[in-house]
Structure 1
Amino acid sequence: MNPVARKSVWLQRAPSPTVEGRVFCVPHAGCGTSVFRNWPQERAGVEFLAVELPGRLTRFSDQMPKTFQDLAAEMIEGLAPYLDVPFAFFGHCWSALIAYEATVALERSDGPRPAALYVSSLMAPQDEVIGRLMTMNEAQLAEELGKTVRDMGSSPHPELVAIYADILRSDLDMSRHYIASDPGPLSCPISAFGWSDDSEVTPDQMTGWAECGETTLRVLPGEHNRIVDAPPELLDHLCSGLRAGR
């Protein structure tokens, strides 16, 4: 294993050089890495690394790419030094498309390939993106973000909520113009996670992932944003998938 020498602008901290695997966790629309603040740094030898996207938090002045494919390409380049152990991308809702496009790009390249793809609460890339967020106005988006902040146990700051409502609107616009890459079935296994009480995207709406490759659809207990609580059963699946990929 190559030693990890420095921290990337895409990460909050320098990865550990001694782990057996890494899961790169991509924040969902309108959010930064704080959505993963309850997640452990490591579990069963697998490291969880929250990805810092352009245009938010420490990268507020960085330009967000216009397409998921361009964003995935930039992310891969920034994370390249840390793909030296079995790894996977985890994307929830909107960010499932980033995780998917990053996996597609790496499978098309001559470099390291992901051991798995992990997606949560989103339809497959070839299916039409739907959901109540797509029809919300600015005030409604701000209220939705405020709820997310409260779900994480914090009090929303009105000015920050307004800023991130603009980011959320831009993220949703990226979804509206999305045209999925068509690589044929992925060679790595796909784990798709639905949530039993999810009113945003039901597990039945996620069956299209089977067209993208060998897919296991798992329904876990909880609502749409339960991922902020670092559900142990989800973390166990993410770890076991990487160990199986060794």
Structure 2
Amino acid sequence: MAGNWLLRRPRTDPVGRLFCFPYSGVGASMFSRWPEEIDGIEVCPVQPPGRENRSREPHYGSYERFAADLVEYLRPYLDRPFAFFGHCAGALPAFETACRLAETGLPAPSQLYISAQVAPHDCPHDRYLDLDEEELRAEMCNLVTLRGGTPHPVLIDLALEVLHEDLDVNRVYRRPAPVRLPGPVTVLEWTDDTEISLEQMAGWRHYSETVEYTALPGGHFEFLSAPPLLLKTLSFR
């Protein structure tokens, strides 16, 4: 199987692992401002194909294919408690990966953290789907700035190519009905988020026997800076 699905090779000694899924148009480097460890839990940013150090590889094509390939790669790293975190569109491949683990009889995440995303049976829901090319370009430039960088036209063009492929997947993704996961789900609401409301995320209550809703201060992109309250929430031990 081609490609390295993780930004860093996992250590052999953590008490647990938190696998973090990037959202549309970007890669694992979006977690560059996050620590490498949270209370003994190793932070493991997931790197999808078709971007950054995997730019020469073909796009994954669907969240289901994403999950199937990632699960095969993760098998050696499921030897201790682990959790998944996905924000916005990144929550969907995180969910599908949890489903794939259940289908194949592999260990389930100790926690699935869903941030600012509707449930799969309420998809698609993404503000980017309604934006034109110039609006998407402005969004990519803003994201680079929020991450502490300076937008470069050539790099923005490359990011837009990835973004369009990601949005093509997002546009057609939908589960016909809720799917029960074996592990607990925590749904994270950002109190100043203007892109999605708590009511729109209510559908997640059907996806596990244990679903908790947690409100965190900040807007839609607050998670990029790894705020302490978020990191405390993600310490799933």
TM-score, normalization by structure 2 = 0.94
Letter of the 2:73 counterpart = G
Whether 2:174 is the aligned partner of 1:165: answer: no
What is the Cα deviation at residue 64 of structure 1? 1.5
After TM superposition, list the pairs within 5 Å mapping 1:1-246 onto structure 2.
9-180=4-175, 184-213=179-208, 214-239=210-235, 241=236, 243=237
Q: Is the 8 A contact 2:123 2:173 kept in 1?
A: no
CA distance in 1, matches of 2:106, 2:123: 31
- Aligned-residue sequence identity (percent) comes to 38
Q: Secondary structure at the match of 1:91?
A: strand
CA distance in 1, matches of 2:203, 2:195: 16
Q: Is the 8 A contact 2:18 2:84 kept in 1?
A: yes
- Size of the alignment, in residue pairs? 234
For residues 110-145 of structure 1, the C-alpha deviation after alignment (integer angstroms, 9 at most, x for no partner) is 222211111101101110322321111122111101
RMSD: 1.4
Structure 2, gaps ≥5 residues long: none
Q: Secondary structure at the match of 1:193?
A: strand
Letter of the 1:158 counterpart = P
Q: Secondary structure at the match of 1:186?
A: coil
Q: Secondary structure at the match of 1:206?
A: helix
CA distance in 2, matches of 1:225, 1:82: 29
CA distance in 2, matches of 1:132, 1:84: 37
Q: Is the 8 A contact 1:64 1:71 kept in 2?
A: no
Classify 1:100/1:190 alpha carbon distance in 2 versus 1 (closer, same or farther; 3 Å).
same
CA distance in 1, matches of 2:26, 2:179: 30
For residues 11-62 of structure 1, the C-alpha deviation after alignment (integer angstroms, 9 at most, x for no partner) is 1222111111101001110011121001110121111111111000000011
Q: Secondary structure at the match of 1:146?
A: helix
What is the Cα deviation at residue 9 of structure 1? 0.7
TM-score, normalization by structure 1 = 0.91
CA distance in 2, matches of 1:181, 1:104: 14
Q: Is the 8 A contact 2:87 2:115 kept in 1?
A: yes
What is the Cα deviation at residue 97 of structure 1? 0.5
Q: Is the 8 A contact 2:124 2:174 kept in 1?
A: no
Letter of the 1:23 counterpart = L
What is the Cα deviation at residue 183 of structure 1? 7.0
What is the Cα deviation at residue 180 of structure 1? 2.1
Structure 1, gaps ≥5 residues long: 1-7
